[in-house]
Amino acid sequence: MSDTATMQAVAKTQSGPGFETIQAEVPTPGPRDVLIKVQATSVCGTDVHIYKWDTWSQGRIKPPLIVGHEFTGEIVAVGAHVRPNESQVGDFVSAESHIVCGTCQQCRLGLGHICPNTRIIGVDTDGCYAEYIAIPVENTWRNPASMSVAVASLQENFGNAVHTVAAVDVRGKTVLVTGCGPAGLMSIPVARAFGAEVIVATDLSPYRLDLARKVGADLAINPATENLAARASDAVRDKGFDVLLEMSGAPPALVQGLDLLKPGGDAALLGLAPGKLTDFDLNNLVIMKGVTVHGIAGRRLWETWYQMRALLAAGVVDLQPIITHEFPLSRWRDALETMASGKSGKIVMYPGE
């Protein structure tokens, strides 16, 4: 590639709603970076937040910025200090989107997923809604050749689901999944693969409840129109759930989920609420029941990736049914609007199409 090579990319060019298609320079990898030709990139709810320019985005995003952080592709160049056992030209890789510092206490303890110095691809550094992206070699993960690029792209988000499920012990347990957006949907086959006896999923959207059934929920219930406790009663033998996986961020889902937990149950929380909780009965929902609540951030580096690899290699989790839409990258607007509509699972885009 010559120094002046350019590429198509999707960027937030100025403060305010919306993205633009731009021509950008193909990035030059630093000494410990690799340059990846993007083969597929998938849409995350965070991308929609940045697109719509919500409060969080306004405080965090510094335009101009190429967006997107879920992707897969082929390595086309490596920096001078990249060792062959780390990455080589031709490798088919996905990327961990969290660039961690490697030197803080969390990183030195193997807890990079909560490194306080984390920079996120497509949020703090240029992202993958583009033909090429350069990232640190430490952030690459080699995929098997047999994996589809669509599934390979999804792994970053899949990792949130795997991390959430793996944070608790679901072996032989009754599990309530509140929220059937992409991460919630993906958590269902993972909970099954890791030994859950019964999985009950909830959402307000009939579209998503259908997807939940498709990926293996024993029951998929709309708690606004059905009596969740009564419907689940047989499945949990009148006892409450052993485990709550809160994937929605909706406060009523959190409260109902904790209320339906058994004494001594575990709750893993991935969903982020729209704001502070204004009416939360910590005494009865957590303390007096002896519940343990696990806040979940990102993916364990690299435990979660090894778990993902195993789940996909064993064939016990099939992400294909969760991919509901595919677009060329040039139709990013359609992709984002579809995601925003709530009537989708995961959406994958393909640069260069």
Which of 135, 148, 120, 144 has the alpha carbon at shortest distance from 40? Answer: 148
Considering beta carbons, is residue 290 or 328 the nearer one to its own copies?
A: 290
Helices 303-313, 149-166: axis angle to 10 degrees equals: 120
b/e map 98-128, b = 16+ CB within 10 Å: bbbeeebebbeeeebbbbeebeebbbbbbbb
Interaction mask 162-201, its own copies, x per CB under 8 A = ----x----xxx-------------------xxxxxx---
Considering beta carbons, is residue 18 or 195 the nearer one to its own copies?
A: 195
Of the residues 4, 13, 28, 46, only one is catalytic, namely 46
Whether 113 is a known active-site residue: answer no
Of 152-160, 179-187, 284-292, 338-346: span binding its own copies (CB under 8 A): 284-292
Of 5-13, 21-29, 272-280, 337-345: span binding its own copies (CB under 8 A): 272-280
114 binds its own copies (CB under 8 A): yes
Within 72-101, which residues bind its own copies (CB under 8 A)? 81, 83, 85-86
Contact assessment for residue 17 and residue 8, using Cβ atoms and an 8 Å cutoff: no
Q: How far is the CB of 313 from its own copies (least distance, A)?
A: 6
352 binds its own copies (CB under 8 A): no
How far is 177 from 200, CA to CA, in rounded Å?
6
Interaction mask 196-235, its own copies, x per CB under 8 A = xxx-------------------------------------
Considering beta carbons, is residue 22 or 79 the nearer one to its own copies?
A: 79
103 binds its own copies (CB under 8 A): yes
Size of interface with its own copies, in residues (CB under 8 A): 67
Report in angstroms the alpha-carbon separations of 153 from 41, 68, 95, 179, 202.
6, 11, 8, 22, 26
Residue 343 Cα to chain centre, angstroms: 17
Of the residues 13, 49, 294, 324, only one is catalytic, namely 49
How far is 244 from 258, CA to CA, in rounded Å?
7
**Which stretches within 149-233 are classed as H helix?**
149-166, 182-193, 206-214, 228-232
Considering beta carbons, is residue 147 or 293 the nearer one to its own copies?
A: 293
Binder of its own copies out of 94, 187, 248, 307 (CB under 8 A): 307
How far is 221 from 200, CA to CA, in rounded Å?
8
Report in angstroms the alpha-carbon separations of 251 from 165, 278, 298.
20, 9, 21
135 binds its own copies (CB under 8 A): no
Contact assessment for residue 193 and residue 330, using Cβ atoms and an 8 Å cutoff: no
Q: How far is the CB of 94 from its own copies (least distance, A)?
A: 15
Which of 310, 343, 341 has the alpha carbon at shortest distance from 158? Answer: 310
- My answer on whether omega of the bond before 302 falls inside 30° of 0, hence cis, is yes
Dihedral in degrees, nearest 10, Cα atoms 76, 147, 166, 85: -40
Q: How far is the CB of 76 from its own copies (least distance, A)?
A: 21
Q: Sort residue 234 into left (φ over 0), alpha (ψ -120 to 50) or beta.
A: alpha
Whether 163 is a known active-site residue: answer no
Q: How far is the CB of 194 from its own copies (least distance, A)?
A: 4
Backbone angles phi, psi at 240, to 5 degrees: 90, 165
Q: How far is the CB of 101 from its own copies (least distance, A)?
A: 8
291 binds its own copies (CB under 8 A): yes
Considering beta carbons, is residue 239 or 343 the nearer one to its own copies?
A: 239
Chain residues that interact with its own copies, rule: CB under 8 A: 81, 83, 85-86, 103, 105-106, 108-111, 113-116, 166, 171-173, 193-198, 239, 254, 262-264, 269-273, 276-283, 286-298, 301-303, 306-307, 309-311, 313-314, 316
Q: Which residues are catalytic?
A: 46, 49
